[in-house]
Amino acid sequence: MAGTVPFEKQEAGMKKIIKFSALALCGCMAFGLAACGEQGGGEGGSGNDKPQDAGEVVIWGAEEEQELLRELIAEFKAANPDVQEEIRPEVQSVWNAQSIVATDAEAAADVIMIPHDQLGIMAKQGLLGEIRDGTAATFATDIRTNNDPKTVQQATYDGRLYGFPLTMDTYIEYYTTDIFPESLEDTLLASVDDMLAAKMPNIPGSKEQATAFGYNIQDGFYLNAGFFAMGCTLYGENGDDVNACNWNNADGVAFVKYAVENFSQSGGKFKVDDAKNLATAVLNNRLGACISGGWEMQDTFKNAKNIRYRTLPSITVNNVKRPLVSFSNSKLYVINNSSKHKATASRLAAFITSEQNQLRYATERGYYPSNLNAQQNAAVKDDPFFKVIKEQLSLSVPVPVIPEISRYWEPAKSLGASIWNGSLKENAEKKGISLEEAIKAALDGFVGDLKSTL
């Protein structure tokens, strides 16, 4: 393992953090001379000829993570007494970070958490500081050595590294044992078709029948699951070919025909809604099972006794059972290219995403770690929930990093809505054409939208 990698063992953590602090005085070199401002440094300097100007380093995090962030900041400051800046956590959702930074980069935080699919467009827009090794600082080498190769790829755009990986995530199937007993996990619950065919009980305290199964096909993050199950690809096999999408082939048409027949609101046993709302419906026994992300276990389902989970179920298309294939993503900390404190910002990001602190995110927030050693820790390796997440991750397709992924979400939303609300079928009837022809036309339009100019 190249360079000095602190955080190897919990019991020796603080000593190693201090050792890291001494080396990380040259942390500005990991971003080159521009990151050091007036500090000097770069590849030919020491990086600590002058102390950093006092100022403030702001780090963004979710509202639910503010307490943990404050603890980590205090530990970072204690272990790095040379750091002169004040460090302040600020609440900011990861999902719209890119648009906020693009609007006013200088007003944005120095250390920013994003989902990895925002990395490509932010890097292309010049909003992110590149992470490099210097004479002593080995941030880039440590990231590439210590983290899951998928997250390293997701932290990289155009051959350059821009992110400090923190977590990996995907979506799975959740169900309530009050409707579907745990004994059915490997039989009925393993098949969408079987769930939709099951006789459903009434919602507790109501004469209304519970819905069997749901997932948000009106969201491109989930809609893809059926297309990927059929072997279709988005932006090619590796997710980096902007001219490649074969969802309008025979397999894509077959999935949409299946979805029109099974995933429409007229069916009564399938439900489309925001993933959190679906999870709440499962928790309250209004819905038997749903698909949602790993984050639900520390949110909607926290401490719930009636909730179980498993990998995604199959769909039966043309008499062949095909497991749904999830999208997967990672969350990263990136450095604002407009930051006046990139050296300290990079040290803070490296500290927060270290092995020992990824374990804290795992145990306290339910995040599956990207750090390879953390993945092998008993707290992660032996945890039943993380075992399911790990298995589904191995069956998943990472959301593409390329900036053109931004073209995907709206057309996917429209396509999913036309399946759910029945307009695809209505269009076929109005035009006097077959459903297959209407589907093919819709998919041709979808692929055309993906290839439109940004």
Each domain of the chain, given as residue ranges in start order, spans 10-161+329-394, 170-326+403-450
- Cα-to-chain-centroid distance, residue 204: 34
Confidence at residue 245, expressed as pLDDT on a 0 to 100 scale:
96
Cα 75 to Cα 97: distance, rounded to the nearest angstrom: 26
| Closest C-alpha to 354, from 333, 382, 329 | 333
Would the CATH topology of 10-161+329-394 be identical to that of 170-326+403-450?
yes
* Average pLDDT rounded to a whole number, residues 403-409: 94
**pLDDT exceeds cutoff 80 at 219:** yes
Cα 98 to Cα 113: distance, rounded to the nearest angstrom: 10
Cα 329 to Cα 392: distance, rounded to the nearest angstrom: 12
Q: What is the DSSP letter of 93?
A: -
Cβ pair 307, 174 in contact under 8 A: yes
The three-state secondary structure class of 368 is: strand
Confidence at residue 269, expressed as pLDDT on a 0 to 100 scale:
93
* Average pLDDT rounded to a whole number, residues 73-79: 97
Q: Write down the pTM of the prediction.
A: 0.86
**pLDDT exceeds cutoff 50 at 223:** yes
Cα 336 to Cα 165: distance, rounded to the nearest angstrom: 15
Which pairing describes strands 163-176 and 368-369: parallel, antiparallel, or unpaired? antiparallel
| CATH class (in words) of the domain with range 170-326+403-450 | alpha beta
Indicate the pLDDT class of residue 137, thresholds 50, 70 and 90: confident
Which pairing describes strands 211-214 and 270-271: parallel, antiparallel, or unpaired? parallel
448 to 235, 348, 376: CA distances (angstroms): 13, 43, 44
Indicate the pLDDT class of residue 68, thresholds 50, 70 and 90: very high
- Share above pLDDT 90 across residues of the chain, in percent, rounded to a whole number: 83
Cα 31 to Cα 17: distance, rounded to the nearest angstrom: 21
**pLDDT exceeds cutoff 50 at 191:** yes
* Average pLDDT rounded to a whole number, residues 20-34: 42
**pLDDT exceeds cutoff 60 at 1:** no
Q: What is the DSSP letter of 268?
A: S
Question: In the block, which residue shows the tokens 């990086």?
Answer: 47
The three-state secondary structure class of 282 is: helix
**pLDDT exceeds cutoff 60 at 325:** yes
What H or E segment, with its residue span, contains residue 429? Answer: helix 423-431
Question: In the block, which residue shows the tokens 């507790």?
Answer: 204
Indicate the pLDDT class of residue 333, thresholds 50, 70 and 90: very high
**pLDDT exceeds cutoff 70 at 23:** no
Indicate the pLDDT class of residue 14, thresholds 50, 70 and 90: very low
The three-state secondary structure class of 336 is: strand
Cα 5 to Cα 421: distance, rounded to the nearest angstrom: 53
Of 288 and 12, more confident: 288
Cβ pair 320, 1 in contact under 8 A: no
Cβ pair 164, 141 in contact under 8 A: no
* Average pLDDT rounded to a whole number, residues 317-341: 97
Confidence at residue 454, expressed as pLDDT on a 0 to 100 scale:
46
Question: In the block, which residue shows the tokens 């035009």?
Answer: 431
Confidence at residue 136, expressed as pLDDT on a 0 to 100 scale:
66
CATH architecture of the region 10-161+329-394:
3-Layer(aba) Sandwich (3.40)
Confidence at residue 453, expressed as pLDDT on a 0 to 100 scale:
58
| Dihedral Cα 20, 23, 28, 32, nearest 10 deg | -120
**pLDDT exceeds cutoff 80 at 27:** no
Confidence at residue 134, expressed as pLDDT on a 0 to 100 scale:
73
How many CA atoms lie within 13 Å of 68's alpha carbon, on the beta-carbon side?
Answer: 18
* Average pLDDT rounded to a whole number, residues 125-136: 89
Cα 101 to Cα 118: distance, rounded to the nearest angstrom: 11
